[in-house]
Amino acid sequence: MNPDFSIITCTLNSSLWLPQSIRSVLRQKSATIEYIFVDGGSTDNTLNLIQSINRPYKLLHRKANGISDAMNAGIAAASGNIIACLHSDDFYLHGNVLAYVAEQFRTSGCEWLFGRAMNLINGKLVPENFTAPTYSRQQLLKGNFIPHPATFIRRDLLQKSGGFNTELRYAMDYDLWLRLSILAEPLQLTIPLTAFREHVGSLSTKERSNAMREDLYVRLKYVGHDPVVHLLHYLRFQVRRLRHYFQFAQKQWKYA
């Protein structure tokens, strides 16, 4: 029988944070798991950490082709009924996450679902700094409020969607959510399932600005051709960009 879940973790010199991510997967209860790693050519201790796991796993090598290509490679190798991508610096909050998710799939009949993620800052778990809106496709077109590590998708639906767009560097998850939203409505959970680790390397102003621009590019692909609608999205983007600079300054102060 197929496993309940395929958990895909992409790595590249990930030894600093990977052990906590691995522990969070291995401690999951009441769910069968296929654990898939896709490594981009690590030269640190990452591969040794993976190879020390005392349970079956798959290790794929996908060098220098980007994170979207790596995740797609993991999806192609997956046999689980439900697929999740858990980055090497993120982790599940407790040992019953997958059992809870499996029960939500069973009772709701949904084809994909998402919960919330907490932020890990300076070793402390803190809630998200916003309240996610109630899901609708129109709300999703206004901005991406679906956390990548807390999203779970049936394998058949994910394959039907075409997977991640390898031409995108930052907004590949947002682009996928928008395509999935055409195929099926997700179940929205309000409880946190995962932790997203914030660290200095994830707070680059330049990278975040580029990510926001790519989000806008993706959004405009799906909102139609009305120039007024495009203008409204562009104005919303400018407001978010300014807000980001203020938030970035505050976070830099925390790390100082």
In this prediction, residue 223 has a pLDDT band, given cuts at 50, 70 and 90, of confident
How far apart CA 114 and CA 131 sit, in angstroms, is 14
Provide the sign of the torsion angle of the four alpha carbons 69, 213, 206, 144, taken in this order. negative
Look at 67-71, 170-174, 209-213 and tell me which has the smallest mean pLDDT.
209-213
Indicate left, alpha or beta for 163 from its phi (over 0: left) and psi (-120 to 50: alpha): left
| pLDDT the model gives residue 254 | 56
Q: Is residue 35 part of a domain?
A: yes
The one-letter amino acid code at 192 reads P
Contacts of 127 (CB under 8 A, 6+ apart): 118, 119, 192
Q: Is residue 45 a part of any domain in this protein?
A: yes
Question: pLDDT tens digits for 114-123?
Answer: 999 999 988 8
User: Per-residue pLDDT for 253 more than 70?
Assistant: no
Domain-embedded: residue 67: yes
B/e letters for 164-187, b = 16+ CB within 10 Å, e = fewer, are bbeebebbbbbbbbbbbbeeeebb
Q: What is the mean pLDDT of the chain?
A: 90
Structural domain harbouring 44: 5-199
Confidence of residue 203 (pLDDT cuts 50, 70, 90): very low
pLDDT of 40: 95
Does some domain include residue 236? Answer: no
**pLDDT band at residue 109 under the 50/70/90 scheme:** very high
User: Residue 177: which CATH number?
Assistant: 3.90.550.10
The residue ranges of DSSP E strands in 122-225, in sequence order, are 124-126, 151-154, 187-198
The span from the CA of 236 to the CA of 81, in Å, is 38
Does residue 135 fall inside a structural domain?
yes
**Angstrom distance (rounded) from CA 22 to CA 86:** 10
Q: How many domains are there within the chain? A: 1
Summarize the confidence of residues 189-215 as an average pLDDT.
Answer: 79
Give domain status of residue 111, yes or no: yes
Count of CB atoms situated within 10 Å of the CB of 220: 16
Query: What is the predicted pLDDT for the residue at 205?
Result: 46
User: Is 229 a domain residue?
Assistant: no
pLDDT attached to residue 27:
97
| Arithmetic mean of pLDDT, 189-196 | 97
